[in-house]
């Protein structure tokens, strides 16, 4: 019951997160939570700098307002397919 209530609450409470993906290593990172988009933007530079110093390549950054990610670091993640279906039902 406690887990259910926690999940229910987290679905309504959203915070700002810095989402960073890298191609080498192939990882997806979430940094946060932040109360505002501006606060997240203010901190993203430090996270990028740390990843660059660790040798990360092709760093892409997005600031998102979302529920707490289930994992803050996803190793060897799969990007969503960017193929558009020819038809849909």
Whether 24 is in a domain gets the answer yes
Whether 88 is in a domain gets the answer no
Tokens of 68: 């707490």
Q: What is the mean pLDDT of residues 19-37?
A: 96
Tokens of 7: 């999940």
Whether 41 is in a domain gets the answer yes
Whether 82 is in a domain gets the answer no
Whether 83 is in a domain gets the answer no
Tokens of 35: 């109360």
Is residue 39 pLDDT above 90, yes or no? Answer: yes
pTM > 0.85: yes or no: no
Residues 44 and 89: their CA atoms lie apart, in Å, by 41
Work out how many domains the chain is built from and give that number.
1
Q: Range of 28's domain?
A: 10-75
Whether 87 is in a domain gets the answer no
Whether 54 is in a domain gets the answer yes
What pLDDT sits at residue 66? 93
Is residue 89 pLDDT above 60, yes or no? Answer: no
Q: Is the C-alpha dihedral spanning 28, 66, 50, 21 positive or negative?
A: positive
Whether 65 is in a domain gets the answer yes
Is residue 9 pLDDT above 80, yes or no? Answer: no
Is residue 88 pLDDT above 50, yes or no? Answer: no
């Amino acid at each position: 019951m406690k887990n259910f209530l926690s999940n229910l609450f987290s679905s309504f409470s959203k915070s700002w997160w810095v989402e960073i993906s890298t191609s080498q290593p192939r990882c997806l990172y979430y940094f946060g939570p932040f109360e505002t988009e501006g606060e997240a933007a203010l901190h993203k530079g430090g996270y990028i700098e740390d990843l660059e110093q660790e040798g990360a390549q092709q760093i892409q950054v997005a600031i998102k307002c979302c529920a707490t990610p289930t994992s803050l670091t996803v190793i060897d993640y799969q990007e969503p397919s960017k193929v558009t279906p020819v038809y849909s039902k």
